[in-house]
Amino acid sequence: MKSLELENVCKKYGEAVAVTDMSMHILTGELVSLLGPSGCGKTTTLRMVAGFVEPSSGSIRINGRDVTKLAPYERNTALVFQSYALFPHMTVAQNVGFGLEMRKVGKAEREEKSFEALKRVRLDHLADRYPRQLSGGQQQRAALARGLVLNPDIFLLDEPLSNLDAKLRGEVRSEIRGLQQSLELTTLMVTHDQEEALTMSDKLVLMEAGGVRQSGTAQDLYEQPADAFVADFVGRSNVIPGRIEDGQFRTEDGTSMPTVSGSSVDARYYTVRPEKITLSRDGDGVMGTLRERLYLGAQTEYTVMVGNASISVVTATPGPDDMRASLRVGDAVRLAWDAASARLLNN
């Protein structure tokens, strides 16, 4: 059984707080993502698990053993760096064998295991090449092989897709997830890309300003955001400030929004996902003015002003016969959505 536990981990640099009161638990074979904007403390957390940064307080346990004070080379973690950090003066095979060599594994066994790991990432035919002779995607697979050959307690991924072009990204995403699941790698991944986090993780930990804002499954975070920050960061959301009056949510300029009865009277934000809203020329719903229309191919994104609030709507691109196809900026439109698909948040 493998596990990673963080308990009330804090990291301060002088007065500046990088990570505060971070607690989490990863079980065997789970992939947990640390998600958040840059500077939220996710990378510092990853570096603390790897041992490059010592926590100011709190403890880190790997497989139940306290490793808080251990040096990086005394922990059995495998970190795949954002820049891959392959050794440029060693061949791919030597790179993959390096960790085994450090563990005093004999030459024959080392070569066999390296070859096996390279085969897993389909790089066995490039074992004698130098990193500079590989493409970005191949370099990343070499970096993955270098980590997984060690059968690490914890697999650490630092922004694994950020250096790849958009087309390769989807492919590598499923490849990494496939490897992680088939080898049951206990994995902590850091990413700022919510799509990456939503598609790859068993669990997400959303961080902001050094603290955890919400953790849970992708569905939890998407369907039940704890606050306006989560709603806005995970997926996209219209976050409209206002208050409850007579059981109805009213925006700051008094426009009334569809509200389910019995909503919390303390609600200060009204959130609704762009894809839950239907837009029409004349029908039921909230009145607004079309301010912008972005053609995205299969989808079209509209920005509509409702009073002072700007609301995004994403729909399948209307066909030529559709009334909406002829909409112009400045036209009056109607927005409608099910009151139950909106969420009211207190902060």
Report the interface residues with other proteins, using CB under 8 A: 50-52, 71-73, 77-79, 81, 83, 85-89, 98-99, 102-103, 146, 150
Query: Based on CB atoms, which residue is closest to other proteins, 64 or 88?
Result: 88
Residue whose entry in the numeric block shows the structure tokens 């922990």: 75
What is the rounded CA–CA span in Å between residue 145 and residue 121?
Answer: 7
* Least gap, CB of 85 to other proteins (angstroms): 4
CB neighbours (10 Å) of residue 45? 28
Residue number, 72 or 170, with CB nearest to other proteins: 72
CB of 102 or CB of 294, closer to other proteins: 102
Q: 122-152: buried (b, 16+ CB within 10 Å) or exposed (e) per residue?
A: ebbebbeebbeebeebbbbbbbbbbbbbbeb
Q: Considering beta carbons, is residue 41 or 131 the nearer one to other proteins?
A: 131
Q: Which residues pair with 12 in a beta bridge?
A: 17
Handedness of CA 317, 321, 324, 328 (dihedral sign): positive
DSSP letter string over 179-199?
HHHHTT--EEEEES-HHHHHH
CB closer to other proteins, 32 vs 80: 80
The owner of tokens 């991944």 is 189
CB atoms within 10 A of CB 221: 27
State the nearest-atom distance from the C-beta of 13 to other proteins, in Å: 12
How far apart are the C-alpha atoms of 336 and 68, rounded to whole Å?
53
Closest contact distance (angstroms) between CB of 246 and other proteins is 58
Strands annotated E in 177-329: 187-191, 203-208, 211-216, 238-245, 248-251, 256-257, 269-272, 278-280, 286-295, 299-306, 309-316
CB of 36 to other proteins, least distance (A): 21
Give the separation between CA 340 and CA 263, rounded to whole angstroms: 11
CB of 152 to other proteins, least distance (A): 9
- 57 in Cβ contact with 84 (< 8 Å): no
- Residue closer to other proteins, measured from CB, 83 or 308: 83
Smaller CB separation from other proteins, 90 or 168: 90
